Structure 1
Amino acid sequence: MSTPMIAPRSVNELGLGLVRQPRQVLFGPGQRRQLPDVVASIGRHALLVTDARMSTTVEFAEIVAGLRDHGLTVSVYDRTEAELPRENVMELVSLFRDDNVDVLVGLGGGSCMDLAKVASVVLANGGDVRDYYGEFLVPGPGVPVVTVPTTGGTGAEVTCISVVFDSERQMKVGVASPYLEAHASVIDPEFTLTAPPGLTAATGADALSHLIEAFTARAKNPTPDEITHKLYVGKNLLADIYARAGIRLIGGALHRLATEPDDLRARSDTMFAAYCAGMAINTSGTAGAHAIQSPIGNLTHTPHGIGVGALLPYVMRFNLPARVPEFAEIGRLLGVADATGNELDQAKAGIVRIDEILAAIGIPADLARLGLSADQLEYVADHAVLATRLTDNNPRELTRESILAILRRGHAGDRGWW
């Protein structure tokens, strides 16, 4: 099989910077105590969107009590499932469309926050969530949303996209619109102190992959019309600021959490890095690892973060020829590259360090360990290449054959250089 062609290096010739963000972000240990004031400043009837586990916790009971003490009517939807099935969206809308809810609080992991965001626009604009699959198809604002992440990874608290699993289509579909941006986000690292190692690994690997993919994304030099009507406008100055900050933090924090899960500083750094990652991907987008993970997840039912973490070493090696300066800077940000040395050596040192971080938190070293069989690689490539919203962000062209090449190396655990 021939080596895939390397496209010319893309550069942000416009000097473009673009950021989308909530109106208010509160970050820090204990800041969930500000939630009643934040919600009361927006509405009087709050719908808390969470899952069955979170709804039984002491922290959840305290939040409900605090909201009611501020005079708010509180309703609860606690049936959110992992990977957010479309059925959750339609059930929530059916249950609460006539209840005059004027603020939603997405409390939990990425699926809970994604559900709050996408349900808010369906409640306000009507129809079926399928009407809004794609980019910029939401016709108007939704019910205001406050996001409260309880895991350090997805970045969904600040992104203007929700990913829904449509069982009839057997695929994940994005609803992407600035109207999905949260009104406010309250980010409290104390929530993550009780996260089990598997959840910490999955969400941490997700955040790490967001940071790497945002920083190494294709620069697109969009037209004014594309800036107005496209969610992902490519690698840009403001996304890079957030990506750099997140990479510096997560490099040490994730490794510490592997041995010191009660380290609040490491939890805080990881959660702040996840926030930075969300801010970065909100305009640069995710890329190859996310495109390829989706069909793998459908086949193996492995958590999203575990899948992208297992793919990341192989996607980075594929992308390296088109992004040597960026990977070299990643090596310096992670403190493993000699700034006076050869740029390619610096880049490889950064990639190897990311390999080590992923191994330390327990991410499988190859795709076979996810339960993916060799005879399923063609299926994965067929479906991954259709995810053009993601593949278009990759710095090196992703064809069916190049995706197959990544999959074969990933399945064999081949971490040689391309």
Structure 2
Amino acid sequence: MSYKNFPMVPRVIFGRGSFNQLNEVLAPKRLGINAPFIFLIDDVFKNNSWLKSRIELSYDDKIIFVSSKEEPKTSQVDALVEDIILMSKERPSGIIGIGGGTLLDLAKAVSIMLTNNGEAKDYQGWDLVKNPALYHVGIPTISGTGAEVSRTTVLTGPEKKLGINSDYTPFDQVILDSELTKDVPKAQWFYTGMDCYIHCIESLTGTYLNAFSESYGNMALDLCKQIFLEDNLSDLESQEKLMMASWHGGMSIAYSQVGVAHAMSYGLSYLLGTKHGIGNCIVFDHLEEFYPEGVKLFKRMKEKHNITLPQGICSDLSDREFDIMINISLGLEPLWENALGKNWKKIMTPQKLKDLYKKM
């Protein structure tokens, strides 16, 4: 039997205020005065002097502010790569992604596409990347997606929503500074935190489960319960715990897989542009049949934090639009197999999936 040999993020700094060490981390990685560091930063920080003042730019280093209002697209990756090539005298020393899952995924994808030919859409799938990525650093400013630790970068392409899953995708360095998450709006905090919670439920109840996934999944799930159900946590404790839950949740799916909610959420995202975290929540709310205990607890968390999910987002869709979502979703075979076993196609028929989408 052959076992998966997964790469881990080799270097991690954890701690409140650790963002201040970024400059000393980057200095030895600089390849020359004409090889800039490129900072891809969520544009919510465009007018945030608290964050910008702590990034020391040298030589030709550049900050590119990127909107995270929409899910990352392959065309967006290609455009960023082209901009970076045009603005740099030499191949950059590295790419630094600062933001939520969208920015972290873009940073991973751009670092891959700067060393591999073609377009980002050519690499959507498993193990298609041939050359090691450029040095890349991930600094999350919101916790939950697990993008800081995963070996995928999830992109919406012209034909599908699918990750660039490869051994070259994970970051070379991650900085986990919970202070960067202090201004996240409440709804966003909940949706992204629930992405982590749903990772755990899908991993822990899946057919791919093993002791590796289970130990990380249980740690992340326990942290999520503390953060979203207990009353006695300070903001600081909650921020630190969610940062660790996100990390462990990402580790949990490294050696297993996600399930029904993620597979269906990809369909919503591809067709309607629904953001990943809220899409997972909209779907998971209707999945009692597959995750009875998990959904029950989710509803408790939703109630406790006064979260009202959008309703009726699929109510006006045509049959053709439903078919697009169904095809995108059913194309994610490993997710369905993890959730429902080898005979998943007998359980999750296109009609059954359509009926589920119609509830949303």
Distance 1:165 1:406, change over 3 A: closer
* 1:63 and 2:54 aligned: yes
- 1:203 corresponds in structure 2 to 192
- 2:104 corresponds in structure 1 to 113
Normalising by structure 1, we get a TM-score of 0.75
* 1:372 and 2:309 aligned: no
Equivalent in 52, 62, 77 of residue 64 of structure 2: 77
Tell me how far 1:147 sits from its aligned partner. Answer: 0.3
Tell me how far 1:299 sits from its aligned partner. Answer: 4.0
Identity of aligned residues (%): 23
Tell me how far 1:177 sits from its aligned partner. Answer: 0.1
Cα distance in 2 for residues equivalent to 1:357 and 1:18: 36
Cα distance in 2 for residues equivalent to 1:189 and 1:280: 21
* 1:384 and 2:355 aligned: no
Unpaired runs of 5+ residues, structure 1, are 1-13, 220-234, 321-347, 414-418
Q: What is the CA deviation profile of residues 350-407 of structure 1, one whole-angstrom value per residue up to 9, with x for unaligned ones?
A: 6522331133345556xx7151217668433343212224223224454386365466
Equivalent in 290, 294, 312 of residue 319 of structure 1: 290
Distance 1:21 1:40, change over 3 A: same
* 1:402 and 2:348 aligned: yes
Cα distance in 2 for residues equivalent to 1:400 and 1:375: 25
Contact 2:108-2:171 at 8 Å conserved across structures: yes
Contact 2:161-2:328 at 8 Å conserved across structures: no
Give the RMSD, CA atoms, in angstroms: 2.9
Equivalent in 107, 114, 118 of residue 123 of structure 1: 114
Tell me how far 1:249 sits from its aligned partner. Answer: 0.6
Alignment of 1:30-109 (within 5 A): 30-44=17-31, 45-65=36-56, 68=57, 73-81=60-68, 82-97=70-85, 98=88, 99-109=90-100
Contact 1:385-1:398 at 8 Å conserved across structures: no
Distance 1:350 1:211, change over 3 A: closer
* 1:359 and 2:347 aligned: no
Contact 1:151-1:192 at 8 Å conserved across structures: yes
Contact 2:6-2:167 at 8 Å conserved across structures: no
Distance 1:201 1:350, change over 3 A: closer
Q: What is the CA deviation profile of residues 128-150 of structure 1, one whole-angstrom value per residue up to 9, with x for unaligned ones?
A: 11221211010020101110000
Cα distance in 2 for residues equivalent to 1:138 and 1:165: 17
Other structure's SS at 2:296 match = helix
Distance 1:17 1:59, change over 3 A: farther
Identify the range of structure 1 (401-410 vs 174-183) with the bigger mean alpha-carbon deviation.
401-410
Contact 1:160-1:282 at 8 Å conserved across structures: yes
Equivalent in 139, 144, 147 of residue 153 of structure 1: 144
* 1:214 and 2:203 aligned: yes
Contact 2:75-2:120 at 8 Å conserved across structures: no
